[in-house]
Amino acid sequence: MRMIDHIFENPEAFAHEYRATLEALVGKDFRDCSAQDQYQALAQLIARKANREFATSDSENKKSDKKKIYYFCLEFLLGPLLDNYLLNYGVRDTVKQGLADMGIDLEELIAQEGDPGLGNGGLGRLAACFLDSMAAEGILGFGNGMRYHYGLFKQKIVDGRQVEVTDNWLDKGYPWETKHPESSVLVRFGGEVVRHEDEQGHYWFTQEGGELVKAVPYDVPIVGYGGKSVNRLRLWSAEPAHEDFDLDAFNAGDYAKAAKFRTDAEAISEILYPNDAGEHGRILRLKQEYLFVAAGLASIIRNYKYDHADAGWERFPDFVGIHTNDTHPAMCGAELMRLLVDEEGLDWDAAWDITTRTISYTNHTVLPEALEKWPIETFRRLLPRLYMYVDEINRRYVESFPRDIDNWQEKLRNTAILWDGQVRMANLSVICSHSVNGVAALHTEILKRETLHDFYELAPEKFNNKTNGISPRRFLGNSNPSLSALITSKIGNGWLADADELSKLSAYYDDAEFLDAMSASKRENKVRLAKYVLEQTGVEIDPDSIFDVQVKRFHAYKRQLLNIFKVMSIYNRMLDDPSYKPHKTTFIISGKAASAYTFAKEVIRLINSVADVINNDERVNDYIKVAFIPNFAVSNAQLIYPAADISEQISTAGKEASGTSNMKLMMNGAITLGTLDGANVEIAELAGMENEKIFGLKVDQIEAMRARGDYFAWDVVNADPNGIGRCVRQLTDGTFAGLSGNFNQIYDELMGNNDYDLVIADFASYVQAWEELTTSYDDQRSWQRRALHNIANSGHFSSDRTIREYATDIWGLN
Ligand SMILES: *Cc1c(COP(=O)(O)O)cnc(C)c1O
C-alpha cells in the first residue's frame, strides 16, 4: 500500500497555496474575503488534493487485481467534512498555523460548513462511518447513493411543535463534489417490452417508449485516515435525457408547461423521503430506488469491461462486491441479471451464479411495518422489463423449493418474492445474496429466530452478524478535542488508527490525576454545549448538573415518551414532597420526527411543553431543567455526545436493531441507562454490567408476556395513581397544556393500544434505575472510573472493526 506525503510541507507552503486558491476563486484579496469564501476555498483545495490522489490510485488499481466493494445505500449522512479530512490527512496543525499567520481562524472556517442532510439518521450515518473506515483500512470501497436536491427537512420548534423547513443544502454550492456528465447513464421508466426474433429463432426483449431519464454522477472524495487511500462516494442526480423545451408553450406564457420535461425528470432526485410511518408506496420513491441501482450497476459494468476485458464474466465476483444496505437497493439482484442476460448475452444460470456470488445484504429492522413491499401492478408498470426478471427469479425459486421439508407450503409462502399482489423486497434481497447479516448480536438472533426464520432454516450458512460501529476519528477525535488530547498524552495517538488501543487506558482506573483531568474535559464539553443550547433555545443550563441525554430520531419504540414521563414524575414528586431533592440534572433531548408521523410529533410537543413548565417553575428549576435542542444533525450531535454523563438507550427490548449513538456516547465516557436491546447488550458485556445501568423487560419476558396475553396497562396505571397514573392523567388534564394544548392523541394511542411499546410496563423499573444511577453520581471517583471503563472498552465499536469483519467474512478480502 502506498503512503502519501503530507499534502502540505509546512504552514508557509500551505498558506502560499491556499492564498492562491482563495484569490483565484473569489477574485478578491484574501483580506477582503468573507469567512464563507475562505471556507469554500479551503474545502476546494483539500478536495482537489484528494481528487488527484484518487485519480493516481485509481489508475494503479486498474492494473491490480484488487477487489472493489460498492456500498449501495439510499442515504449517506456525511456530516461536515473539513475538520475530518484535516485530521485524516494529518495536517490539522499545519493548516491551523498557516491560517493563523494569515490572520484567519481555522475554527471559524470549520463553523462555516453546512451539514448535508442526505440521510434520516442511524442508517445513513452508519453508511458514512463505513466509507471513512473502508478508506482507513485501505479497502477499495465506493459508496453509491442519491444526490437529493433537498435533504431531510430542518426542524424548527414553534409553540413546542416541530415545524419542517426545506433543507436547501446546495444554496452555497458544495465544494466537495465534482460533477461527471461524461459518466452519465440513461435510465428508462415505463413503456413496454417488445419481443424480437431473428431467422434462427433466437429471441430477445427490449423496453421501448416510456420516459428516459439521465442519471448524472457527482463524486465526493473519501479521505482515509493517514492518507493511505482516497475512495469515492458517487451520488446520482436525475436530469432530462433530452432538451425538450416547448418553445410554443413558453411564447404563450405557459412556462410550467414549457419546462415540464425538466421538472418531471428532476423530481426523481428532488427530495429525500423520511423513513418512518406510512411513507411507502410512493412511485417517486420507487423511481429513486431504481435510478441509483440502474445507474450504479451500469457504471460498475462499464468499468469492469474496461479494467478486466480479458477476465470474462465468471470472474466478476472476484473483482466486484456489491453490498446492499437495507432493502432500498434490493433491485440490484434483478437488475444485474437483466444487464448480464439482456445486455451482455449470458445464459440465465451463469448470470445467476455471478449475481448471487456478487451481492450481499444487510437487514436493519425487525419492525414488520418497515419491511418494504411494492404493489406488483405499480412495479410492473414502472419497470416492465425488470419485473419480468423478478417474476422469473421468483418462479425458479418456487419451482426449486424443497417439497420434502415440514410445512413446506407455509415456508414457501413466507419466503417467496411475489405474494398477495406484492413484491416483497426483503425476500428479493435475501434470495439474490450470498450473505445476510444483522447489525448487532441480539438483532441477528431475532432475524434467525423470527423475522427471517424460514430463510435461516433453508440456508443457515448465509446468515451472520456484524455489530455496527462508529468512526473514532469523527466521534472522538473531531468531536472531543480535550478528551482526545488527554488520551493521546497518555497512550499516544495510535487509537485513531486502531481503537482497540483505547484499552491501554485501563492502566488509569486508579489514577486520580487522570480521572480528574477526564472530569475537567467533560466539564469543558458541557460548557461548550450549554453555550450552544443558550444560543439555540434561550434556555440556560448548568454545566455542573448531570447531563442526561437522549438524542435520536423520534419513534414510538425508542420511547422518548418514557423519558419525559420520568421527568414529569420527578417534577410531580418534588411538588408533592418538598424534602425530595433529586440530583441536579439537565434532561437533554433532541431529534426529528418524520413529517407524517403525528404520534412522534406530539411527543416532541409534549417534551417542549413539559420543558416550558419546568424551566419556568422556580420551585424546581434549581434542580431540574429540560432542554430540547432543535434540528438534530451530525454537526450538533458532535457537540452533544461529548457533553453527556448519561446515555439514554431505552427502546422496547427487541425493537432497536443496534443503535449507534449508544456507541458514540460510550466512547465519550457516558454511562448507559438502557434496556437490553440492540448493541446495548454488547456494551454492557464489554464494559461490565456494573459500569452501566440496565433496566426493564427483556426480549424473552416480552415474548412470553405477549404469548400469555396477560398484560393490562390499565391495571398498572390504576395501581400507581401518584406515579405513572398521574403522568397519564396529565396528558389531558391541562397541567402541560399552556404552550399549545393537551395531548389527547398520545393518551388515546397509549391507552387504546394497551401500551403497545410497554412504556407503562417499564416505567417503575426505569425511574428506579435513574434514581439509583443519579444518586451514585455523588461518588465522583466511582463515576469517573465507570466512565473510564466505558471509554477503555469502546474500541470494539470502532467501525474499522466492523468493516474488517465485513471484508473477511462477507466480501472475501484478505
Ligand atoms: C448516530 C446518529 C444517529 C443514530 O442514533 P441512534 O440513537 O443509534 O438511533 C442518528 N442521527 C445522527 C445525526 C447521528 O449522528
Q: Are residues 209 and 354 in the same domain?
A: yes
Across residues 275-304, what is the average pLDDT? 86
Q: How far is CA 681 from the centre of its chain?
A: 20
221 lines ligand 1 (CB under 6 A): no
Please report whether residue 409 resides in a domain.
yes
Q: Which residues contact 12 (CB under 8 A, 6 or more apart)?
A: 98, 101
Distances (CA, A) of 228 to 82, 165, 719: 18, 39, 62
552 lines ligand 1 (CB under 6 A): yes
217 lines ligand 1 (CB under 6 A): no
Q: Which numbered atom of ligand 1 lies nearest the CA of 659?
A: 8
Q: If you measure from the C-alpha of residue 512 to the centroid of ligand 1, how many angstroms do you get, rounded to a whole number?
A: 33
Please report whether residue 622 resides in a domain.
yes
Q: If you measure from the C-alpha of residue 632 to the centroid of ligand 1, how many angstroms do you get, rounded to a whole number?
A: 9
Q: Is the pLDDT of residue 722 over 90?
A: yes
Across residues 196-225, what is the average pLDDT? 95
Residue nearest (by alpha carbon) to ligand 1 atom 1: 661
Q: Are residues 281 and 326 in the same domain?
A: yes
> Contact, 705 vs 698, CB < 8 A?
no
- Domain count for the chain: 2
Number of neighbours of residue 415 by Cβ within 10 angstroms? 22
| Domain containing residue 517: CATH number | 3.40.50.2000
Please report whether residue 110 resides in a domain.
no
> For 107-111, 239-243, 271-275, 459-463, which range has the lowest pLDDT when averaged over its residues?
271-275
Beta-bridge partner residues of 164: 155
121 lines ligand 1 (CB under 6 A): yes
Cα separation, 177 vs 149, whole angstroms? 13
Residue-level pLDDT at 277: 47
Choose which residue among 76, 123, 551 to substitute to test ligand 1 binding: the one with the highest number of ligand atoms within 8 A of its C-beta: 551
Q: Are residues 567 and 459 in the same domain?
A: no
Q: Which numbered atom of ligand 1 lies nearest the CA of 633?
A: 13
Q: If you measure from the C-alpha of residue 588 to the centroid of ligand 1, how many angstroms do you get, rounded to a whole number?
A: 15
Cα separation, 517 vs 640, whole angstroms? 19
Across residues 6-26, what is the average pLDDT? 94
Residue-level pLDDT at 765: 98
Choose which residue among 77, 125, 550 to substitute to test ligand 1 binding: the one with the highest number of ligand atoms within 8 A of its C-beta: 125
Cell numbers 407455509 correspond to 410
What is the tens place of the pLDDT at every residue in 776-794?
999 999 999 999 999 999 9
Residue nearest (by alpha carbon) to ligand 1 atom 3: 122
Q: Are residues 451 and 526 in the same domain?
A: no
122 lines ligand 1 (CB under 6 A): yes
Residue-level pLDDT at 275: 67
Cα separation, 450 vs 466, whole angstroms? 18
633 lines ligand 1 (CB under 6 A): yes
Q: If you measure from the C-alpha of residue 126 to the centroid of ligand 1, how many angstroms do you get, rounded to a whole number?
A: 9
Q: Which numbered atom of ligand 1 lies nearest the CA of 126?
A: 1
Please report whether residue 22 resides in a domain.
no
> Contact, 647 vs 671, CB < 8 A?
yes
Residue-level pLDDT at 59: 82
Residue nearest (by alpha carbon) to ligand 1 atom 12: 121
Q: Are residues 356 and 497 in the same domain?
A: no
Q: Which domain range does residue 515 map to?
A: 472-797
Q: Are residues 738 and 629 in the same domain?
A: yes
Q: Is the pLDDT of residue 737 over 50?
A: yes
637 lines ligand 1 (CB under 6 A): yes
Please report whether residue 108 resides in a domain.
no
Q: If you measure from the C-alpha of residue 551 to the centroid of ligand 1, how many angstroms do you get, rounded to a whole number?
A: 7
Q: Are residues 698 and 568 in the same domain?
A: yes
479 lines ligand 1 (CB under 6 A): no
Average confidence score pLDDT of the chain: 96
Q: If you measure from the C-alpha of residue 327 to the centroid of ligand 1, how many angstroms do you get, rounded to a whole number?
A: 20
Q: Is the pLDDT of residue 334 over 70?
A: yes
pLDDT band at 2 (very low <50, low <70, confident <90, very high): very low
Residue-level pLDDT at 276: 56
125 lines ligand 1 (CB under 6 A): yes
Residue nearest (by alpha carbon) to ligand 1 atom 4: 122
> Contact, 523 vs 543, CB < 8 A?
yes
Q: Are residues 392 and 429 in the same domain?
A: yes
Q: Are residues 121 and 245 in the same domain?
A: yes
Residue-level pLDDT at 5: 57
Please report whether residue 96 resides in a domain.
no
Cα separation, 725 vs 719, whole angstroms? 8
Q: Is the pLDDT of residue 645 over 60?
A: yes
Q: Are residues 506 and 363 in the same domain?
A: no
Residues noted as catalytic: 364, 552-553, 558, 660, 664
Q: Which numbered atom of ligand 1 lies nearest the CA of 77?
A: 13
Please report whether residue 119 resides in a domain.
yes
Choose which residue among 553, 559, 560, 661 to substitute to test ligand 1 binding: the one with the highest number of ligand atoms within 8 A of its C-beta: 661
Across residues 485-501, what is the average pLDDT? 98
Q: Is the pLDDT of residue 551 over 90?
A: yes
Q: Is the pLDDT of residue 228 over 80?
A: no
Q: Are residues 439 and 503 in the same domain?
A: no
Q: Are residues 319 and 356 in the same domain?
A: yes
141 lines ligand 1 (CB under 6 A): no
pLDDT band at 72 (very low <50, low <70, confident <90, very high): very high
297 lines ligand 1 (CB under 6 A): no
Q: Is the pLDDT of residue 279 over 60?
A: no
* DSSP assignment string, 301-343: HHHHHHH-TTT-GGGHHHHEEEEEESSTTTTHHHHHHHIIIII
Q: If you measure from the C-alpha of residue 71 to the centroid of ligand 1, how many angstroms do you get, rounded to a whole number?
A: 20
Across residues 69-79, what is the average pLDDT? 98
Please report whether residue 10 resides in a domain.
no
* The model's pTM: 0.97
Q: Is the pLDDT of residue 565 over 80?
A: yes
Residue-level pLDDT at 3: 45
What is the tens place of the pLDDT at every residue in 242-264?
988 888 988 999 999 888 888 98
Cα separation, 734 vs 743, whole angstroms? 9
